[in-house]
Amino acid sequence: MSFLRYLMLLSLVVWLGGLIFFSFVVAPTAFSVLPSRHLAGSVVSRSLSALHWMGLASGVVFLVTSMLHARFSTGSPHPLAARHVLILCMLALTAISQFGISPKMATLRASVGQIDSVPANDPARVQFSALHVWSTRLEGGVFLLGLVVLYLTACSS
């Protein structure tokens, strides 16, 4: 039982820690150190994809171990427990970002070359900026939901 709780918490630590590291280290460092914003965007895009896959794997691990833990503790996996519903929301937001928003941003970047050289009022630049805003919102949402899941998990027995 304690090993299942360990895996539950580890999966959350990996996911939330990755989000924090990406937001406060990877992205700012890439844009401040690399010689061009285009190159920094490529690094950030690749890193975000890795983060998404880590999140998707972590979410599945959390769901499986949490339901097993609940099953062994109470006799029922409690699939509609708040932490399970919130993890499913986190997985959905991550999947939308990975399979919906990120590919569209990559297509726009590929079609215009260096996005920073495109005028601010160009439709491709406007669309790219809007997608970037949504990408940031989704990652923030995943993080906030993850903090709630962490609290619920830490406070449960």
Name, in order, each residue with C-beta under 8 angstroms of 98's C-beta and a sequence gap of 6 or more. Answer: 49, 52, 53, 56
Residue 149 burial by CB count (10 A; 0-12/13-18/19+): exposed, middle or buried?
A: buried
pLDDT above 80: residue 157: no
pLDDT at 59: 98
The domains of the chain are located at: 2-155
pLDDT at 156: 85
pLDDT above 90: residue 102: yes
pTM, two decimals, is 0.94
pLDDT at 54: 98
| Planar angle of CA 138, 144, 150, nearest 5 degrees | 130
User: What whole-number percentage of the chain has pLDDT above 90?
Assistant: 88
Please write the tens of the pLDDT for every residue from 16-55: 999 999 999 999 999 999 999 889 999 999 999 999 999 9
